[in-house]
Amino acid sequence: QKEVEQNSGPLSVPEGAIASLNCTYSDRGSQSFFWYRQYSGKSPELIMFIYSNGDKEDGRFTAQLNKASQYVSLLIRDSQPSDSATYLCAATGNQFYFGTGTSLTVIP
């Protein structure tokens, strides 16, 4: 079992819709969780992090954490074509664990 699992995708949503990206983790000792965005041909960059149970909002992005279920999600509201990218979930435990990534395409 991988330490961090993401829905493999690819995921396609129409412009203006909500994109939902999901991630589960196996290490109950994980303390913090990160979402990275990676455009094609570029390196990943951090878009959000979350430490506490519940929701954390930043503009059109909302990160959700449920430690009891070991589940992290990223919601992108009013999706735009510029949101088309690969999204990587990461968790800290004994090391910095990354999921393999989910490819999102927003269709105009």
Partner 1 sequence: KAGVTQTPRYLIKTRGQQVTLSCSPISGHRSVSWYQQTPGQGLQFLFEYFSETQRNKGNFPGRFSGRQFSNSRSEMNVSTLELGDSALYLCASRSPGFYTEAFFGQGTRLTVV
Q: Catalog residues that contact partner 1 under the rule CB under 8 A.
A: 31-32, 34, 42-46, 49, 51, 86, 88, 90, 92, 94-101
Between 52 and 69, CB nearer to partner 1? 52
Residue 14 and residue 2: Cα distance in Å, rounded?
31
Between 72 and 90, CB nearer to partner 1? 90
Q: How far is the CB of 65 from partner 1 (least distance, A)?
A: 13
Between 90 and 104, CB nearer to partner 1? 90
Q: How far is the CB of 4 from partner 1 (least distance, A)?
A: 10
Between 42 and 77, CB nearer to partner 1? 42
Residue 63 and residue 50: Cα distance in Å, rounded?
7
51 in Cβ contact with 33 (< 8 Å): yes
By the 10 Å C-beta count (0-12 exposed, 13-18 middle, 19+ buried), 8 is classed as exposed
Q: How far is the CB of 52 from partner 1 (least distance, A)?
A: 11
- SS3 labels along 85-102: EEEEEEEECCCEEECCCE
